[in-house]
Chains A and B, each alone.
Chain A
Amino acid sequence: MTNQTSDVLDVTDLRTYFPVRSRGLIPRTIGAVKAVDGVSLSLDAGETLGLVGESGSGKTTAARSILMLVRPTGGSVKIDGEEITDLSARKLMPIRRKAQMIFQDPYNALNPRHTVGAIITAPFKVQKVVPPGGVKKGVLELMERVGLNPEHYNRYPNEFSGGQRQRIGIARAIALRPKLIVCDEPVSALDVSIQAQILNLLRDLQKEFGIAYLFVAHDLAVVRQISHRVAVMYLGKIMETAPRELIYSRPLHPYTHSLLSAVPVPDPKRQAHRKSRIVLHGDLPSPIDPPSGCVFRTRCFQAQERCAVEVPPLVELAPGHHVACHFPIAVEDLPARAEVQALTADDPQEATPDVQIVSREEAADGAAGAAGKGRGAQEEALDEGGAAEEGVSLNKPRA
């Protein structure tokens, strides 16, 4: 069935809308949550694509749609060259062997009433696959491979820590040697010390088996450690996608700038410039009624009239570097500080948000950015110390 494309995963214009129904005797569909709205991406064998965006931007829905855990509203998903969006559950069966998922919450991802052995055996049973040496031997080897003690075969998930549970989930995911694993924030729920172990394990398994990862995360720091390419998502759409180094050293989209501004990213190149602070306020707009034109315009410091009327297409500005913005901006050109007061839901028709910008010159004047309205002494002190990462973060890492 494999055709000429070598991509393990090929997603084109994926859209997943959830109907919004009125309450009442006869529910009517009165709208749609556009959780994923025109996402395209692709993955080669053995490659990792990091998918980043703040909570609610549609990453999980995209991940679930790609594996047909929720049926997409439109678009195409090809796994190993085969179109799967229109396949029945029965026809999907053999393809599910090739694509697996690792979940965010290791407490929910394992059935509390099944032993570890039963959990890792399940994929073999369901797909009727017998590894050389038998299923039991295969399961024990898998446990060993992901760093679990095979003697714990008969234990229940409640006896394990979060990190060990995630290892169980990983063993289950790699059991059938899939070509693709969709990882939905696999380390967000774990302690920082354990995050690194799990990321290392995933990387080792990728080298050993040539698995491709679609790696979802809500901050750029985690993704940096594992991804070859990064895609930044906002309100159901891809804003920017580029090879890893470019995303961190030469980001062009205002949203990527603000994400980077919120996360401490040690990078000598970026240290060279005086680091800017792009501070976003307010929440993500509702995906039921997204802003016209560019969906980011209600919180964008670059927004202009044009952004309200024209949807920016995702265009390739450099090889492999795609940006969906009318006014992309390079790091050097960033203002020292931009504070964005998001448009509220009451005035979505207004074209541009209230933006306070401090230019480099002003900041350099030593005027301590006095122009910034509502800027407290404490924040100024932070600025002085160059502790940009302590600015109001767009995406507070979960505790």
Chain B
Amino acid sequence: MTVVQDTAAGFQSAALTGGRSLRQIIWARLRRDRVAMICLVVLVLFYLIGIFGPIVGGMVGIDPYKFDSASISDNAGKPVLDWGGISAAHPLGVEWGTGRDIMAQLLFGLRISLVIATSATLITVAIGTVVGIIAGYSGGWTDSIIGRFMDLVLAFPFLLIVLALSGVLTQRLTQLGVPEGNPSRILYLILVLSVFGWPYLARIVRGQVLSLREREFVESAVAMGSSKRRILFTEILPNLWAPILVYATLTLPAYIGTEAALSFLGVGVLPPETTFGAMLATSVTYFNVVPTYLFIPGTALVILVVSFNLLGDSLRDALDPKAIH
């Protein structure tokens, strides 16, 4: 109750500045936050590169699949040039053993990393929101059963299951008509991330709905004869987007990290495709000889994840009415 009133009172002071919607107020606040704006720019760049990088790269002749045998020595596959074979043709060097261009791999790997993390986040948010709203608003048995089921999902040893089931389930996806190889493996990653991820959000949403449904505007909606559907999606849902948005911006980088870890453990995509995680896995093998190789995908990963996390934090601050000045 006090939280609710704080919210109201807090937004009121911000609202005195004029007839602006909550969204505008929050955007204005975010605009003043320099870190948030930098992160936002970085992330937009990452997405642009993820979407258009491979296309542009292809046009200027960057090809992650091409073996450049001239750039590696014959016996150990070691890059001929120093610093992992950095040259005008290969600005970030070449891969050991194959001579494939690392910058091209980064561009293509970023795309797959983003596709996996973004789709998994969207699915997580969709499932988590719907289940959370239903559990919170229905209460009673529905809520109990959903609650127990979520406990069950959360109690599963995620890593063990994902590793153990990877072979079987990837094959099953192929049988269901998903193209064999990497498409199936990517879909598998998206599915396991979502399946094990939604209960966290569902819990947050459920908690919010439990307090929202006691608010009198919901009661008023009932009193005028609103359908349950209208109450859930027109009255309650718009009050949930703030926590959902914050959760999504914090989940996405976690998924990028998890995907990297899984690729590192061998569940991810197969060569010649690559992701940040797969690149890390390869580079670790050569760490003693060419430490720079590890730093390239490592740095890219860290920038991406940190930008998301910082943006998520700023968003949470911007949405927190008590932090208004």
Name A residues whose Cβ lies closer than 8 Å to a Cβ of B.
64, 67, 69, 92-94, 96-97, 99-101, 103-105, 107-115, 122-123, 126-127, 152, 154-156, 158-159, 169, 172, 176
Contact = CB atoms under 8 A, between A and B. Distances in A.
Interface in B114-146: none
B258 to A, nearest CB: 33
Given A69-B219, A112-B8, A127-B225, 4 more contacts: A123-B224, A126-B225, A127-B224, A158-B22
Which of the four size classes fits the interface of chain B? 20 to 34
A111 B238 contact: yes
B7 interface: yes
B12 A108 contact: no
Contacts of B225: 92-94, 96-97, 126-127
B208 interface: no
B220 interface: yes
Interface in B10-59: 11-12, 15-16, 19, 21-22
Contacts of A110: 217
B238 A113 contact: yes
Nearest to B226: A126
A112 B19 CA distance: 14
A13 B225 CA distance: 25
The 6 closest A-B pairs by CB, nearest first: A113-B238, A96-B225, A158-B11, A109-B216, A103-B216, A111-B217
B222 interface: yes
Given A96-B224, A108-B216, A156 B239 contact: no
B228 to A, nearest CB: 8
Interface string B216-253: 11011111111100100001001100000000000000
Which of A92, A99, A156 has the most chain B CB within a 10 Å cutoff? Answer: A156
Contacts, number: 79
A169 B216 CA distance: 11
A156 B15 contact: yes
A155 B238 contact: no
Contacts of B8: 107, 112, 158
Contacts of A115: 21
A100 B216 contact: no
A87 to B, nearest CB: 12
A22 to B, nearest CB: 15
Given A110-B217, A156-B21, A158-B11, A126 B224 contact: yes
B220 A109 contact: yes
Contacts of B11: 112, 158
Contacts of B239: 111-113
A9 to B, nearest CB: 14
A172 B235 CA distance: 15
B75 interface: no
A339 B7 CA distance: 43
Contacts of A152: 19
A19 to B, nearest CB: 12
B222 A69 contact: yes
A94 B225 CA distance: 8
Nearest to A115: B21
Contacts of B217: 108-111
A100 B224 contact: yes
A101 B4 CA distance: 21
Nearest to B236: A111
Given A107-B8, A126-B224, A126-B226, A112 B22 contact: yes
Nearest to A123: B224
Given A112-B22, A113-B238, A113-B239, A96 B223 contact: yes
Nearest to A119: B217
Contact of B219 (A103, A112, A114, A159): A103
A127 B226 CA distance: 8
B22 A64 contact: no
A20 B22 CA distance: 40
B288 interface: no
A302 to B, nearest CB: 38
